Homo-oligomer: A and B are copies of this chain.
Amino acid sequence: MGRSIGKRAAGEVRILPVAVGGEIRAGESLCATLLAAARSLGLRFQEGDILVVKHKVVSKAEGAVVALDEIRPSAASLAWARRYGLDARVSELAGRESRRIVRRKRGVLITETRHGFICANSGVDVSNVDGGQHAVLLPVDPDGSAAKLRRELKKQVGIEIAVIVSDSFGRPWREGLTEVAIGVAGMRPLVDYRGRRDPHGYSLHATVDAVADELACAAGLVCGKLAGTPACIIRGYVYNRGRGGARALIRPAKNDLFR
C-alpha cells in the first residue's frame, strides 16, 4: 500500500499477570508478596513498568475488613434488605461508608464514598473474601496506598514504578462493570491533549483521556474475579511521570452535569 508508518506510533504494550496463591492477610507486606509472586513467575520489574493491583488485596493487607457478625443493621437497612433479598449488614455497611446516597432504587444502592467515588454499595464487597463472613471495604486512602506500595517497590528493586489500585465500578447507561483507578502514584492519571494539534493541525480542544482508568481496564483483562490474579505489570505504555492521584479523576461536583 506504500503507506508510511506514523512517526509517533506507539510500541507494543504487554499485560503480565502476577498470580498470587493463597490469601493476603492483614499486616502482611503486599510489596513483599507481590515481589515474591512476580519472581516465582520469572518476572522482573523494569524501568517504565506500571503495577496495577486490585484494591481488594490492598484492603486486606491494610486490615480494611469487617466481620459481618459485628454489624447491627438499622431498621431502615433491614427493611431495604428484606425487600430485595439482600444482606442487611452489607447494606448497613454501605450506608456507613458513604457520605451521600446518590440513588437508592430497586435494590441498587449508589453512593458517594468518603473519598468522593460514586459506586454501588460504597465499594463494600463480600465476594472473594471468605465465603461471606467478612466484607472488604475500600482502602481508607487509596492514593496513599498506591504511594506506599510505590515507595516500598523503589526500596526493594531500586526502580520507580507507577502504581494503580483498581476496583470494578458500574456506570450509568452501559451494562457491566469496568475497572477504574481508585488510587494512583507516580504517574499523571489524565493525559491532556487540549492545545495539542492532531496530524491535520486541528486543535484537540476537548480531549482529556483518563489513562489511569484505561490502564485499570487493561489490567482487568488478566486480573479476573476467579483467577487468583490480584495484580499485573503493564509494560511498554509510556506514561507521564509526575504527581497526581486518582482524586484527579473525580469530577468536581460543580463541573458535573449529573449532580
Tell yes or no: A176 within 8 A of B by CB.
yes
Q: Across the interface, do A177 and B229 meet the contact criterion of CB distance under 8 Å?
A: no
In the complex with contacts A22-B3, A226-B198, A251-B174, A168-B209 CB distance below 8 A: yes
Within 8 A of B (CB), among A103-141: 103, 105-106, 108, 110, 118, 120, 126-132
One complex includes copies of this chain to the number of 2
A119 to chain B, nearest CB (A): 9
The answer to whether A220 touches B214 (Cβ under 8 A) is: yes
CA distance in complex: A21, B110 (Å): 45
Contact: A249 with B174, CB < 8 Å? yes
List 15 A-B residue pairs with CB atoms under 8 Å apart, sorted by A's residue number. Answer: A3-B20, A3-B36, A8-B227, A9-B17, A9-B19, A12-B16, A13-B218, A127-B203, A128-B198, A177-B209, A178-B213, A196-B226, A218-B218, A221-B234, A221-B237
Q: How far is the CA of A224 from the CA of B10 in the complex (A)?
A: 8
As a 0/1 sequence over residues 32 to 48 of chain A, the CB contacts with chain B under 8 angstroms (1 = contact) are 11001100110000000
Does A210 sit at the interface, judged by CB under 8 A?
yes
Q: CA A21 – CA B196 in complex, angstroms?
A: 20
Q: Which residues of chain B are near A168, meaning CB under 8 Å?
A: 207, 209
Closest chain B residue, CB of each to CB of A201: B131
Q: Is A27 an interface residue (CB 8 A)?
A: no
Contacts of A176 in B (CB 8 A): 189-190, 208-211, 213, 249
Q: Point out the residues of chain B lying under 8 angstroms from A14, CB to CB.
A: 12-15
Contact of A132 among B7, B22, B202 (CB under 8 A): B202
B13 near A221: Cβ-Cβ < 8 Å: yes
* A73, CB-defined interface residue at 8 Å: no
Chain A residues 164-201 with CB under 8 Å of chain B are 168, 171-180, 189-190, 193, 196, 198-201
| Interface check A250, CB cutoff 8 A | yes
Contacts of A69 in B (CB 8 A): none
**A66 at the B interface (CB under 8 A):** no
- On chain B, the residues within 8 Å of A211 by CB distance are 176, 220-221
How many angstroms between the C-alpha atoms of A93 and B225 in the bound complex? 42
Partner of A175, one of B16, B127, B251: B251
Contact residues in B for A171 (Cβ distance below 8 Å): 171-172
Contact in complex: B221, A10 (CB < 8 Å): yes
Known: A5-B19, A6-B21. A175 touches B225 (CB 8 A): no
Whether A10 lies near B127 (C-beta < 8 A) is no
